[in-house]
């Protein structure tokens, strides 16, 4: 038996945003009572809610999100438990057997603060050595339950994206994967010709029978 776990925050009209980014507008534009159907409109940037960064985000002439082959959006999941850590350092990977194509998800527990100002004010950040180890292993995606792997000048973003390691930010409920030795991750973004896109992230876990 397989179980699916949704690791995505709900995208709503009052989504919080990274400091300096524009707030999204999600509003109803048609109503059944008036027009005979419901319809919504969305306006805003790509780095809102659970989303994926493509290389173009930080790398000149990097790939658009629409250029990424769909095969990179699926892979074996590896969970890194970083709760209580002030920084995401390389030693967190010492007991994680990484293979090419893996999707590494880092649990910090910060998702619980997602709709509070504190979520963006302080969060554990990825060190360059952690990022370089992912690159050396051939990892496809790094996913985090924080707003970013790092801060300006975004050296970790550049290490990962220049080596075609995609970044997923603002994941949710990663603790549901604790104690799960084997799972797959499906992280499928919208096919936008731009530097990032909203993404629906699902873990598929084999249940004990």
- pLDDT recorded at residue 99: 97
DSSP code per residue over 171-183: B--GGGGTT-S-E
- pLDDT recorded at residue 121: 87
Integer CA distances (angstroms), 133 to 91, 136, 165, 195, in order:
10, 5, 11, 24
What digits encode the pLDDT tens for the residues 128-162? 999 999 999 999 999 999 999 999 999 999 999 99
3-state secondary structure of 205: strand
| Domains of the chain from N-terminus onward | 2-16+46-206 (3.50.30.50)
- pLDDT recorded at residue 143: 98
- pLDDT recorded at residue 65: 98
- pLDDT recorded at residue 209: 47
CA dist., res. 77 & res. 171, Å (int):
14
Q: Which residues of the chain have pLDDT under 70?
A: 208-209
The residue written with tokens 């300006």 in the block is 152
């Amino acid at each position: 038996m397989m179980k699916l776990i949704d690791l995505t925050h709900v995208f709503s009209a009052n989504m919080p945003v990274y400091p300096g980014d524009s707030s999204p507008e999600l509003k109803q534009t048609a109503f059944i009572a008036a027009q005979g159907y419901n319809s919504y409109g969305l306006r805003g940037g790509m780095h809102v809610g659970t989303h994926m960064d493509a290389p173009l985000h930080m790398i000149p002439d990097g790939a658009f999100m629409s250029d990424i082959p769909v095969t990179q959006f699926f892979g074996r999941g590896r969970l890194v438990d970083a709760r209580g850590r002030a920084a995401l350092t390389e030693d967190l990977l010492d007991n994680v057997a990484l293979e090419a194509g893996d999707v590494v998800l880092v649990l910090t527990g910060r998702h619980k603060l997602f709709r509070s100002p504190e979520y963006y004010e302080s969060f554990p950040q990825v060190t360059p050595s952690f990022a370089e180890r992912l690159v050396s292993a051939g990892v496809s995606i790094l996913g985090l339950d924080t707003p970013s792997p790092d801060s300006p000048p975004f050296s970790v973003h550049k290490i990962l994206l220049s080596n075609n390691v995609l970044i997923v930010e603002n994941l949710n409920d990663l603790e549901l994967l604790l104690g799960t030795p084997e799972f797959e991750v499906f992280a499928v973004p919208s096919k936008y010709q731009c530097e990032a896109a909203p993404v629906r992230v699902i873990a598929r876990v084999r249940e004990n029978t």
